[in-house]
Amino acid sequence: MENITNAITLVPLNHYILLSSIIFFIGIIGVITRRNAIVVFMSIELMLNAVNLLLTAFSAYRGDAAGQVFVFFIMAVAAAEVAVGLAIIVMIYRNNNSIDIDLLNKLKN
């Protein structure tokens, strides 16, 4: 465990922040531009994983386990969210035979 923490701190902290920010914004762009519900969903997962990476890096640099524990919380909750989200997407597919989110425009004035 010591070795892993040391290995993480070999790379400067700013690099981790930059990398996570880039992954996070790739996720945001995916959510905004893609039209397939599954791909949008994958982009959201990408955002969450960027956060996990960032938390782990901060945690290793500070020598504080709280950040890594938070990562476990995120993973567990994200799994629950995936279960509900995929169920909703399957429900949509059964009714529409498509998961294109542009088809979802029935609720308008």
Partner 1 sequence: MTSIIIIAITAIVVLYLGLYKVKGALLPVSVLGLLGAEASLVCGWDKNISYFNEMLVFNNYAIAFSILLIATTILIFLMSGNYFEKISSNVAEYYTILLFALTGGITMVSFQNMTMLFIGIEILSVSMYIMAGIKKNDTSSNEAALKYFLMGSFATGILLFGIALIYGATGSFNLTEIAGKASEQPFLFYTGVIFMLIAMTFKVGAAPFHFWTPDVYQGAPTLVTSYMSTVVKTAGFAAFLRLFGSAFSSVPPIWTVTIAAMVVITLLIGNITAAFQQNVKRMLAYSSISHAGYMLIAILLLGQASPNAILIYSVAYSIASVASFGVIVAVKEHKGSDDLSAFNGLGRTNPVLAFVMTVALCSLGGIPLTAGFFGKFYIFGVAIAANYTWLIAIAVLMAAVGIYYYFKVIIAMYLRDSESGESIQLNGSYQFVLIFCVLVTILLGIAPSLITNIL
Q: Which residues bind partner 1 (CB under 8 A)?
A: 17, 20, 24, 27-28, 31, 37, 40-41, 44, 47-48, 50-51, 54-55, 58-59, 62, 64, 66-67, 69-70, 73-74, 77, 80-81, 84-85, 88-89, 91-92, 95-96, 101, 104, 106-107, 109
Q: Compute the distance between CA of residue 103 and CA of residue 98 in angstroms, rounded to an integer.
A: 8
Percentage helix, strand, coil for the chain under 3-state DSSP, each rounded to 5: 80, 0, 15
Q: Determine contact, residues 71/56, Cβ cutoff 8 Å.
A: yes
User: Least distance (Å) from partner 1 to the CB of residue 58?
Assistant: 4
Tokens of 92: 């949509």
Residue among 3 and 96 whose Cβ is closer to partner 1: 96
Cβ atoms within 10 A of the Cβ of 16, count? Answer: 19
User: Least distance (Å) from partner 1 to the CB of residue 57?
Assistant: 8
